[in-house]
Structure 1
C-alpha cells in the first residue's frame, strides 16, 4: 500500500504526542495512589490529555480528527494504565462513547458529536444494566414510546466518568431490538451514591438512575457495523497490560531493595524463575494484542475476536503478576503504603469489566468447539 502525505502527517503527530506523553506520565503516576485512596476522579489529567491533542488525534479523519492508528491508541492506553489505570480507563471509555456516537449517528448528528469532542466535551458509556450482566450490547430495558421518540426508566451501572460527562451513549431495547441514543444528562438522570469499590477507585464508575429520560428520535443512531472503531474493545487489554507492567515494576523494586540474611531478595532463585516466567507471559500477551491492533488498522475482520482473546489473556496475566508481587512483597505488600496492594485490586477489577473473563471464556470456548448455536 502506498504511503500518502496524510499518513506521514499522522505519524509525525503520533511521534509528537508520544514524546509529550513521556513527559506527562511521571506526574500522572505520582497522583495515582491519592486518586485511589480518595476515590478521586482525575479530571485535571483527563482535560490535560484533551488540551495536548490526544482526543483529537484519536478521532477518525472522516470525522474531522487526526485519524491516529489503533496501534497508537493502544500504546497510549497501556502507558497511561501503568501510571494510573483510572486515567486510562476513563480516557478509553470517553473516546469509545464519543467516537461511537459520532459513527452511529454519522448521517444525522455525527458532525455534532465530533465537534463536541474536539471542543472538549466529556463523554461516557451508559450501557451496562443490572439485569443484563456483562452482555451490554443486548439491553433488556425496554424504552417506552413517547411523542417524538421514547423514554427510559431504568439504571445503568459502572458509568466511568459520568459525573463530568456532557454526553452519554445509552442503549435500550425497542421492540426487543438494541438501539443506541445520545443523551445529555438532565434532571431525569441521577447518580445513586453507592461508589465504594475495591479497585479502580479513581474511575468513579457510578450507577445512574433514569426516570422518564427522553430519547428523541433524532438522537437515535444505527447499530455498530464494519469499519466502526471499537476503542473500548481495543483498549481493555491495554489497561490490564499496563497494570501488569506496574505490578512487575513494583515487585522488582521491592525485591532489589529488600535484604534478607545479608542478600537482596532479588537474588533468590525462586524469585528469578517466577519473574522470568511472568515477564515472558506479559510480553507474549503484548505481542498478540499488538497484532490485533495492527489487524484493526489493516481492516482484518477477525480483529474483534482477537481483542476478546487479548483481553482474556491480559486480565489473567495482570492478576497472576499482581499475586506474585504480593508473594514477593510478603507482609509489606499488604500495607496501604505499598503500591502492590493497589495493583492487585486494580488487576482484579479488570477481570470484571465487560466482557468478564468468565463470559469471554465461554464465548471463545464455543467458537473453538463450534457450539455457538447449539443452545
Structure 2
C-alpha cells in the first residue's frame, strides 16, 4: 500500500532537513520536498523527528536467566514491548542456559517476530564451547537456516565460560567465515566478555597472526568497568568493533553516556561502536567466591533512555543515533538502520521537544506505543 508521510524533520541518521517520505510495500520509495504524488493518501506528521528504527543486536527473545534456579527463568519478549522501546530490528541469542532454552525455540520466536514485522535474525550457539547448533554444525546452521547470521554469545573472561582457547576460537572463526561466504551472511561471532582480568586478551591472541579478520568478532558488555573499556578502546583502535550494553541506574556497569565520553577521550572511532540492550537477559551479581548474590532482568527501554542521555550530555543527535542504527546495520549487513530510498520503512516518530517516542513504523505500518496500528 502506498502512503506519503508529510512534514518530517528527517535524521537518516544524518540530518537531511524537512522532508516527505513515500512508503510502498514496507520500503522507502522516495524522499522529497516538493508537492507530488497528489493521488496518494497523505499523513501530516506535523514536524515530528523521523529516526531510523533502533536495531538491538543483543536480545534474549525467548528469555534468559536460570542462574538462580528454574524460578529465575525469564519470559519471552513481546513484539509490543520491542515497539514501545523503539526497536524495529533484533538479533536473538541464547546465553548461559542452552539446555532448557533451545535453539529451535529461538528460531521459532525469530520467525514469529518476523510475522509481526520485526526485522529479526539470530545467532546459533550460546555461552558454551563446543558450539551447540540446530543441525549439528555451524556451517549447516549458517548456510541452510536463513535467519542464522553467525554464532554467540560465546563467553570469554567469565566464570561461566567453557575456557575456549585461541586455537579453538580461530577454528570456529574460520567456520563462520567460510559459511558466511557460501550462505551470503555477515558471519559474526558475538562474544560475551565477563569481568575476569583476562579481558579481551583471547581475542587479541586469536587475531595476532592476521589469519582472522578482527571484524568477525563483536565483543559485548565491554562497559562493565574501565579496565575492560580501556582494552575495548585498544581493540577498536586496532580496527575492531565493540558493543556497549545499555544499563539502567541499578547496574554496576558504566553508563553508555560515560562510556562514550571515555572512548572519545581515547580517540576511538565511534563508527565502530554499537549499543544493545541485552533485553530479557539476567543481570546476576556474584560475590568474590563466585556465589550468586542477586539477579535482575534487563529491559529494552534502556536503549531510548541511553540515547536521550547521550544527547542531553552534549552529543549531537546524528552522532548518538548512529550507534543505535546505522552502525549496527552496517556491521551486520541489514537493509535497515537508515532512512534512505530502498531501505526498509522502519522509522521512529519522535517528539522534538523532549525526544520521547510518539509512534513506530515497522515494515511500512505505523503502530502506536501500545503496539496497535495507528493513524498517529
Using the size of structure 1 for normalisation, the TM-score is: 0.23
Looking at both structures, which has the greater relative contact order when contacts are Cα pairs under 8 Å and sequence separation is at least 6? 2
Structure (1 or 2) with the greater strand fraction:
2
Structure (1 or 2) with the greater helix fraction:
1
Using the size of structure 2 for normalisation, the TM-score is: 0.23
